[in-house]
Structure 1
């Protein structure tokens, strides 16, 4: 299991999601993102891509209009990826990833 941290803005964004949106985001992270992160290859359905406007920051699609941005951080546990969650919400979060 990767380690992770959240930026304050992510926590604020997460609280603003509906309960259904939060459940869906968490389900996608648990069922798809984490296993793919372990395997080193992301499935096409997650539509993971780097953001041109913010080098080192990636976008994850978790719903038709659900996006999350994240970046890799320094390992906290040797040999385990560390993820820094930056933003979560609709497509509009990409204006300030």
Structure 2
């Protein structure tokens, strides 16, 4: 997956096979970047957000959750 994801992040265009899209219904503070999800296998998913660059000119990703479909379970109310 890394050999596909990293070049796509760098180019800013994601190939259809990674199924990248914004996560719906995530409450964010004003000015926060949206949470994005990626699905690379039937039970392989991850969510992340772009963050401020650490190295100039390179996109910086903050991984939020990685795993199966259970990563979308909000837990007990």
TM-score (norm 2): 0.80
Q: Which has the higher contact order (CA 8 A, sep 6+)?
A: 1
In structure 2, the residue matched to 1:43 is: 15
Q: Aligned to 1:85, which of 26, 41, 63?
A: 63
Gaps in structure 2 of 5+ consecutive residues? 29-33
Measured after TM superposition, the shift of residue 95 of structure 1 is: 2.5
Alignment RMSD (CA, Å): 1.2
- Please identify which structure carries the higher helix content: 1
Report deviation, 1:87. Answer: 0.3
Residue deviations 1:41-71 (CA, integer Å, cap 9, x gap) = 1000100000112261010112111100000
Structure 1's consecutive aligned runs of 4 or more residues displaced over 3 angstroms after TM superposition are none
Structure 1, unmatched stretches of 5+, are: 1-27
How many angstroms apart in 2 are the aligned matches of 1:90 and 1:81?
25
How many aligned positions are there?
68
3-state SS, counterpart of residue 36 of structure 1: helix
Deviation at 1:39, TM superposition (A): 1.5
Instruction: Compare CA radii of gyration and give the structure with the larger one.
Output: 2
Equivalent of residue 4 in structure 2, options 23, 32, 40: 32
Tell me the residue number matched to 1:60. Answer: 38
